[in-house]
Amino acid sequence: MEQKKITSLDDLRKIREKSKDLSSARSGGGTTVVVGMGTCGIAAGAREILNEVMSELARRNLDDVAVQTTGCIGMCQDEPLLDVIRSGQRVTYGRVKPEDVATIVAEHVVNGRVVEKLAIGRAD
């Protein structure tokens, strides 16, 4: 997927609105996926991660998984960040690549197994 250059505040606003549209289409359920969409995350490829999450959930017909976005949480060096909140546990995955998303969805979202090689933090 070709990345467009961000050259203005208006470009960022358009990305934010598109992300809102994508994430608002996915709500409810017991599992939530959160993608960091601060400027640091976007610069590191978070837009592609969000798109891949939405595509993977659609491919698997996982309509009960909520998808949300968040701004920068101060871990810029580990962007793009993706959190999975399942069964009361929040796991943060860092330096996520689009090809990692299918593994995270299959292992963690579907089967409840943390993908240890990508996990950088946990909160119960």
Q: Which CATH number fits domain 27-123: 3.30.530.20, 3.40.30.10, 1.10.3720.10, 2.60.40.420?
A: 3.40.30.10
46 or 8: which leads in pLDDT? 46
Q: Are 38 and 15 in contact (CB under 8 A)?
A: no
- Three-state SS for 54? helix
Predicted pLDDT of residue 67: 95
- The residue extents of the domains of the chain are 27-123
**Alpha carbon distance 50, 56 (integer Å):** 10
- Asked whether 38 and 72 are in contact (CB, 8 A), the reply is yes
CA atoms within 13 A on the CB side of 115: 20
Q: How much of the chain, in percent, has pLDDT values that exceed 70?
A: 85
Give pLDDT tens digits for 105-122.
999 999 999 999 999 988
pTM greater than 0.85: no
On whether the CB atoms of residues 87 and 62 are closer than 8 A, the answer is: no
